[in-house]
Structure 1
């Protein structure tokens, strides 16, 4: 398996000042800054528990899941004595190591080269939706063959840009909490038009990078990575350091998956080499966050995927803690 030891030689180039973008995070945990209700082993709020592992990803500040110890002593990564770890459960919980052993993360998961023909980006609903839909079809053409080769059943996902969508994962958080989300329950990426334009304007690389990241969460869902991570949620109190670390592993992997896609598309069609590099660089515009990592860490994982073009190099689950900080 691969860790992030060679990230220093990434191809992403420094371009301009950093825009104050907000972080991405999963919907079902956007309010998990709240203290655990009754101690370390208490369940989290039931409204999102009913939809796990369905909702993930937003382009704003929030919270996700955590690094968890293994129940199998042979796989334990040494964190089993962390404060807040829940006592033994009747249900087997995947270890951090076993999540990293997912079949999609074995070396050789290279995406198909694709030529993306994207229409002109515009603020009108029809033009913005057409832009996202064209990129989505391109993401599918790149990812589907790789998923099939890895033995992962493919399923499509839609994109919805309405400002007040009715999602199967519940209401969107307030606009100050999230720009968009991925909901696996209805297989849809939600990027409400007003929120998205307020966050990104008409900066093409920002829109391209964001949708590719959200699609990365869809890939995590299809491959079972999200289900495995969500199976560990109650082992630590919400908002605790190990809880936040697992969330960073989820989000940084989605960045890396976005970089893998950009590698498959850059230099062909509408995504030129320069635009591909700019989209990779755009991840450094996502604010420093203990739920998603420092902005440079976020960019570094995207650049890693871009450099290698192989999902096997996106194994955040077997990376040391300092590489997901």
Structure 2
């Protein structure tokens, strides 16, 4: 689950300075200069100027990113359908990380999660960097309270959540919901880590901007949330495949957890149980970030 940080207005990158009108003579003079420049350019490099020119020749420029936020001059929502990760057939290397034994006490759970996140860092960092996006590792917290994040939607609490660069795995909530089954902890952690990948790619910021443009809790508002969560499910499936390939988990064990139906508790924001399962399986079987593109698929696949 992704929780949004409290506050923080979205700056308008398209604010323009307006100049007073000019006289007709001045306008004709400027047009004449522009025409002369274009003419000289055609003579010098006709192929460069005249080749292409249609919509198919345009490419999506990757913006300068700072802490997962595109810098001024770039429209944030362009990082949803046209995100660099959506076109990358990037996969995770086999994960052969050694993790300490998982136990209920905080002194044992903390080292386990720290080691697992280091493993995820090793796998995801090259993927994010290859897409020309900036990288920073996430923090991990075993606490449920945070002053920086909004409250859980509705009356249901999540098992875990991600907010502002920190993966929150509240010890009591996690133990209550999934016990100490290691594969369950890994797939849950991998889902929240998927939100961190989205944060580095600017997807979290972009989804916030898009949701601010529609009515709160409207069908489109919920659909945006489901696209976000189902993409994180797909990324968790990618990790489970890497863990099975590298020997961290047995193949049939990893596939059993990936194939489990999702939760009905937060289906409005996280997708139907069937779609949660399908997107995890997509990541597990296809194993590429391009296959996890939930932003360019039909509404039926993210209902």
TM-score by length of 2: 0.72
Matches within 5 A, 1:65-214: 99-162=80-143, 164-169=144-149, 176-184=156-164, 187-214=165-192
Is the 8 Å Cα contact of residues 100 and 317 (structure 1) preserved in structure 2?
yes
Candidates 305, 315, 322, aligned match of 2:283: 305
Q: CA deviation at 1:181?
A: 1.7
Q: Specify whether residues 116 and 276 from structure 1 end up closer, same or farther in structure 2 by C-alpha distance, changes over 3 A only.
A: farther
Give unpaired runs (5+ residues) of structure 2. 11-54, 56-72
Q: Cα RMSD over matched residues?
A: 2.5
RCO higher in structure (CA 8 A, sep ≥6): 1
Is the 8 Å Cα contact of residues 233 and 243 (structure 1) preserved in structure 2?
yes
Structure with higher helix content? 2
Q: Which residue of 2 aligns with 1:321?
A: 299
CA distance in 2, matches of 1:291, 1:101: 22
SS at match of 1:159: strand
String of CA shifts for 1:150-208, please: whole Å, max 9, x gaps. Answer: 1111101121113x544533677899423322112xx2111111111111111222211
Q: How many residues align?
A: 241
Q: Specify whether residues 266 and 131 from structure 1 end up closer, same or farther in structure 2 by C-alpha distance, changes over 3 A only.
A: same
Q: Specify whether residues 98 and 154 from structure 1 end up closer, same or farther in structure 2 by C-alpha distance, changes over 3 A only.
A: closer
Q: Specify whether residues 202 and 51 from structure 1 end up closer, same or farther in structure 2 by C-alpha distance, changes over 3 A only.
A: farther
TM-score by length of 1: 0.68
Is the 8 Å Cα contact of residues 128 and 134 (structure 2) preserved in structure 1?
yes
Give the number of the structure whose alpha-carbon radius of gyration is greater.
2
Give unpaired runs (5+ residues) of structure 1. 1-24, 29-46, 53-73, 75-90
